[in-house]
Amino acid sequence: MKQYGLIGHPLAHSFSRQFFTEKFAREGVDAKYLNFDIESIAQLPQLLEEHPDLQGFNVTIPYKQQVMQYLDELSDEAREIGAVNVVRVTRQLPNGQLPNGQLPNGQLPNCPILKGFNSDIIGFMDSIRPLLQPHHRRALVLGTGGASKAVCVGLNRLGLEWRYVSRTPRDGQFTYADITPNMLADYTVIVNCSPLGMSPRTDSCPELPYRSLTPQHLLYDLVYNPEQTLFMRQGRRQGATVKNGLEMLHLQALASWEFWNGKD
């Protein structure tokens, strides 16, 4: 039986296993999806050795950038974004060749070939696009991890200017202390790419002047568990449009399946 899975730490919040298990059962796919909660990305080679039927896997926090050191190839989008959330595993035949008869330079026989992709950008763009209005011209991106990099490239492609917001002062980005009511009048899209508010710590949210939000604002939270985060509830109280990351998860998962099955 073919195997697929998810690597990350911790994985208690993940819905991916349920999503793919239901997909496989519904479509009659002879495969299973496993969670691999690994404490270090250095455990990846051993994981691949122990699971010879693994055809591909998703990558989540905190390994979307760390995993890249183990990959043989990158898609153009993954290279541009600088983060990977999908890896296709190509197993060589017993004679050390790939199914197409080729053996990549530098590869040893029976070593899996790993190619990284980014489906976060697909899920994000397709899910936020219907909510964007002409007055949505600038965005604040909360958090600077692997998912935020896909979000920023997606915002560029959608024609929005953006600035990072982080707890750590750095050139070219805001800190949370910098966010004022006047600034929020210009930045009418706010995307939370941080884990703040994620179950089980549902009583937390990014520190923003929420009372300055208006019905012109769009708050998009990549967190999808709980269904309504405190960040979203704070925005809804002020009449803002809010959305969680569940549809993004579904869309990026479907794109993952295509990458695992040969789409380049």
Active site residues: 64
Cis peptide leading into residue 215 (ω within 30°): no
What distance in Å separates the CA atoms of residue 247 and residue 223, rounded to the nearest whole number? 11
What distance in Å separates the CA atoms of residue 3 and residue 177, rounded to the nearest whole number? 46
C-alpha triplet 251, 142, 225: angle, nearest 5°: 50
What six digits make up the tokens of 79?
């290279």
What distance in Å separates the CA atoms of residue 61 and residue 141, rounded to the nearest whole number? 17
Give the DSSP H/E element, type plus range, for residue 203.
none
Distance (Å) of CA 107 to CA 7, 112, 114, 242? 24, 9, 11, 48
What distance in Å separates the CA atoms of residue 116 and residue 125, rounded to the nearest whole number? 19
Of 218, 261, 262, 255, give the one whose Cα is nearest residue 84: 255
What distance in Å separates the CA atoms of residue 117 and residue 230, rounded to the nearest whole number? 31
